[in-house]
């Protein structure tokens, strides 16, 4: 039954085009730009992310990250993308569709980050809008989920602007920056209007 079958990509996954941005699978040649943007944006990102390991920005850690991304994609567990601005191909951030559940759920969880120099300029909104058809049409998911810390007003605005509906509040939901944090829970269904 096709409903329970996972999706597989025989070749490398094609880029996803958005309004002023492109999403593509991270590659080894992205390391220097990725590490520089993450380092420049460290203070901006740390309050909203899991604790960074000491070697998080090292080349070895990046290689391990790419291997995990490839393994997860091959297993239809997660899909990672880097977001590039079309004007100059600058890396602006990343998106991950993770925790893919098949069978009766057909769901996945959206995670994202944007570099500090590119925040609040519409790039992440464009990237999420571009990713949604891929999730529902290509991956044949039924539900996208996302969660954010209540005080992260930029993230709340992003989710609501891109068609996600607030569904609840989860106490001590994720360990962010070393502390168990409450999160607002959001979801978007495949048949929700744009």
Q: In whole angstroms, give the CA distance from residue 166 to residue 187.
A: 7
> pLDDT category, 193, cuts 50, 70, 90?
confident
pTM as predicted: 0.92
Does the pLDDT at position 102 exceed 60? Answer: yes
Does the pLDDT at position 178 exceed 60? Answer: yes
pLDDT at 194: 75
pLDDT at 5: 45
Does the pLDDT at position 184 exceed 60? Answer: yes
Look up the CATH superfamily of 15-140: Gcn5-related N-acetyltransferase (GNAT) (3.40.630.30)
DSSP secondary structure string for all residues of 68-123: HHHHHHHTTS-EEEEEEETTT--EEEEEEEEEEE-TT--EEEEEEEE-GGGTTSSH
Q: What is the CA radius of gyration of the chain?
A: 16
- The domain segmentation of the chain, as residue ranges, is 15-140
Does the pLDDT at position 186 exceed 80? Answer: yes
Does the pLDDT at position 191 exceed 80? Answer: yes
Mean pLDDT, the chain, rounded, equals 93
Q: Kindly report, residue by residue over 1-58, the tens digit of the pLDDT.
A: 345 545 555 557 789 999 999 999 999 999 999 999 999 999 999 999 999 999 999 9
% of the chain surpassing 90 pLDDT: 92
pLDDT at 7: 57
Q: Could you tell me which residues come within 8 angstroms of residue 60 by beta carbon, excluding any fewer than 6 positions away?
A: none
pLDDT at 61: 97
Q: In whole angstroms, give the CA distance from residue 25 to residue 13.
A: 7
Q: Kindly report, residue by residue over 58-68, the tens digit of the pLDDT.
A: 999 999 999 99
Q: Kindly report, residue by residue over 110-128, the tens digit of the pLDDT.
A: 999 999 999 999 999 999 9
């Amino acid at each position: 039954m096709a409903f329970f079958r996972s999706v597989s990509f025989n070749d490398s996954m094609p880029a996803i085009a958005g309004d002023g941005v492109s999403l593509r699978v991270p590659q080894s040649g992205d390391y220097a730009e990725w590490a520089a943007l993450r380092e420049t944006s460290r203070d901006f990102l740390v309050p909203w992310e899991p604790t960074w390991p000491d070697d998080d920005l090292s080349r070895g850690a990046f290689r391990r990250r790419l291997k995990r991304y490839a393994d997860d994609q091959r297993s239809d567990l997660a899909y990672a993308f880097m977001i590039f601005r079309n004007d100059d191909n600058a890396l602006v951030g990343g998106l991950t569709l993770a925790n893919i559940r098949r069978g009766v759920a057909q769901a996945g969880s959206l995670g994202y980050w944007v570099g500090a120099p590119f925040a609040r300029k519409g790039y992440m909104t464009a990237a999420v809008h571009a990713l949604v058809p891929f999730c529902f049409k290509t991956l044949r998911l039924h539900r996208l989920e996302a969660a954010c810390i209540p005080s992260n007003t930029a993230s709340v605005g992003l989710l609501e602007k891109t068609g996600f509906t607030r569904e609840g509040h989860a106490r001590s939901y994720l360990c962010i920056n070393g502390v168990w944090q409450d999160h607002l829970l959001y979801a978007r269904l495949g048949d929700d209007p744009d």
